[in-house]
């Protein structure tokens, strides 16, 4: 935990430098043509390139045509309270349920308890992938890597299993990110091609799984705390985001910088799902490039990432009945109602196209009969991204 606390402190320090640089580069009145630099331009640590940039540059590194005239503080504050906090609370609950299901499987291993653990993993995975749009701030500074590093190091994992070293929660917390987290749990729970049977589990694997489940829930709880109450003397990140533009805010010196962080999160989610997680392995015809290939759940990842981008745009968390009073969508609608309707229609079309891709993607990726559906999904997702990049960004 100490390493992550240091990372959060470092984030705030780096953000101060970035924000000051942005102030110097932007015009005093924030007029059109100037560029502010949201905190997400700080390079993330760990994870899949720090969720929101799995090996690609991501939207945050591009020169986007920001207006820098956005002043609606309610949009930024409501996003933190109505989307981020409820979603992370749900994720904490899902990881707790996963940890309990793994423990139950370890105590009484049967096809039913194994299936329950796998279903709990899938539920936690869907919840986590729907946080993609707000993988900025604390998530990209140690927490993401500890929970979602990919690809995992199967060689090291097998060496850990072959050793006799202690393997409890404390020991797992000290492992490399590629030896812990959701995908290590996935690898051990499902096996290659989701084919592992109950009799193939060793006691050492069950011990490792139990510690991994406990560690995942602990890290998820800490991440929630960074947003809700703050850790290590740092302010709650919900307050950092909600006070964008206030005189004392070193991370977001303008309200526009806070709103730009949200839009970049949306764009990065769309880039990741359309280009990195779907288009790249499709072009390469490489099933090993699919992130959740052990469980055959990659298509769920893509749908969840897309839903995260839509929820970020609309300022909502439907499962919890949470809806922001003000959102990027409502702001766009106030300026250009037709544009907002267009974007919402494009999100719906992208979701429909992705739903038409035959499941599991691990099988259909290389099936010529599914090629048109996969390409249509890629095109629809990237169409939303293009519209937001070229028509929404100039409004923020």
Structure tokens at 277: 């997680």
User: How confident is the model over 329-372, as pLDDT tens digits?
Assistant: 999 999 999 999 999 999 999 999 999 999 999 999 999 999 99
**Higher-pLDDT residue of 63, 47:** 63
Q: What is the mean pLDDT of residues 228-243?
A: 93
237/4 Cα distance (integer angstroms): 14
Residue 243 has pLDDT above 50, yes or no: yes
The Cα angle at residue 242 between residues 239 and 245, in degrees rounded to 5: 115
Q: β-strands 316-317, 322-323: how paired? A: antiparallel
Q: What pLDDT, on a 0 to 100 scale, did the predictor assign at position 36? A: 39
Helix (H) or strand (E) holding 138: none
User: How confident is the model over 105-150, as pLDDT tens digits?
Assistant: 999 999 999 999 999 999 999 999 999 999 999 998 889 999 999 9
Return the closest-CA partner of residue 310 out of 224, 387, 257, 210.
387
Residue 205 has pLDDT above 80, yes or no: yes
Residue with tokens 């977001």: 252
Structure tokens at 89: 């609370």
394/159 Cα distance (integer angstroms): 52
Least confident segment among 28-32, 45-49, 154-158, 274-278: 28-32
Q: What pLDDT, on a 0 to 100 scale, did the predictor assign at position 62? A: 67
**CA dihedral over 310, 314, 320, 321, signed as positive or negative:** negative
What are the residues whose beta carbons fall under 8 Å from the beta carbon of 19, sequence distance 6 or more?
37, 39, 250, 251, 252, 253, 257
What confidence tier does 50 reach under pLDDT thresholds 50, 70, 90? very low
Question: What is the 3-class SS of 90-111, one letter each residue?
Answer: HHHHHHHHHHHHHHHHHHCCCH
Using the 8-state DSSP alphabet, how is residue 44 labeled? P
Q: What pLDDT, on a 0 to 100 scale, did the predictor assign at position 220? A: 98
**CA dihedral over 224, 145, 297, 329, signed as positive or negative:** positive
Using the 8-state DSSP alphabet, how is residue 164 labeled? -
User: How confident is the model over 4-23, as pLDDT tens digits?
Assistant: 444 444 444 444 334 333 33
DSSP β-bridge partners for residue 317: 322
**Higher-pLDDT residue of 269, 323:** 269
Q: Max alpha carbon distance in the chain (Å)?
A: 67
Helical ranges in 35-84 per DSSP H? 73-79
User: How confident is the model over 154-164, as pLDDT tens digits?
Assistant: 999 999 999 99
361/194 Cα distance (integer angstroms): 13
Structure tokens at 331: 């702001």
Return the closest-CA partner of residue 78 out of 344, 319, 263, 259.
259
Q: What pLDDT, on a 0 to 100 scale, did the predictor assign at position 246? A: 95
pTM higher than 0.85? yes
209/176 Cα distance (integer angstroms): 15
Q: Dihedrals φ, ψ of 47, to 5°?
A: 65, -155
Reported residue count of the chain is 396
Return the closest-CA partner of residue 130 out of 295, 312, 344.
312
């Amino acid at each position: 935990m100490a390493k992550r606390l240091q990372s959060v402190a470092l984030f705030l320090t780096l953000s101060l430098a970035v924000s000051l640089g942005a102030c110097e580069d932007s015009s005093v009145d924030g007029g059109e043509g100037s560029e502010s630099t949201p905190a997400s331009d700080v390079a993330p640590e760990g994870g899949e390139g720090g969720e929101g940039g799995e090996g690609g540059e991501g939207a945050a590194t591009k020169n986007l045509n920001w207006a820098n005239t956005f002043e609606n503080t309610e949009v930024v504050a409501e996003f933190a309270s109505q989307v981020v906090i409820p979603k992370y609370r749900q994720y904490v609950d899902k990881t707790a349920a996963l940890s309990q299901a793994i423990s139950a499987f370890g105590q009484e291993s049967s096809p039913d308890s194994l299936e329950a653990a796998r279903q709990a993993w899938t539920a936690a995975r869907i919840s986590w992938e729907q946080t993609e749009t707000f993988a900025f701030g604390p998530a990209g500074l140690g927490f993401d890597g500890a929970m979602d590093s990919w690809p995992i190091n199967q060689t090291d994992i097998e060496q850990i299993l072959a050793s006799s070293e202690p393997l409890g929660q404390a020991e797992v917390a000290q492992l490399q990110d590629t030896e812990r987290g959701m995908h290590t749990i996935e690898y051990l729970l499902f096996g290659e091609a989701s084919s592992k049977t109950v009799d193939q589990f060793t006691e050492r694997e069950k011990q490792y799984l139990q510690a991994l489940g406990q560690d995942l829930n602990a890290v998820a709880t800490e991440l929630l705390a960074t947003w809700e109450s703050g850790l290590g003397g740092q302010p709650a990140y919900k307050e950092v985001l909600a006070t964008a533009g206030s005189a004392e805010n070193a991370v977001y010196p303008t309200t526009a910088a806070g709103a730009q962080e949200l839009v970049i999160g949306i764009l990065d989610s769309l880039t990741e799902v359309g280009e990195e997680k779907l288009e790249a392995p499709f072009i390469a015809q490489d099933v090993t490039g699919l992130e959740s290939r052990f469980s055959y759940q990659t298509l769920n990842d893509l749908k969840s990432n897309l839903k995260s981008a839509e929820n970020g745009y609309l300022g909502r968390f439907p499962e919890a009945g949470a809806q922001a009073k003000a959102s990027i969508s409502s702001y766009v609608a106030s300026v250009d109602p037709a544009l907002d309707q267009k974007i919402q229609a494009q999100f719906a079309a992208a979701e429909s196209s992705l739903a038409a891709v035959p499941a599991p993607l691990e099988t259909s990726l290389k099936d010529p009969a599914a090629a048109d559906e996969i390409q249509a999904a890629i095109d629809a997702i990237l169409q939303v991204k293009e519209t937001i990049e070229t028509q929404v960004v100039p409004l923020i």
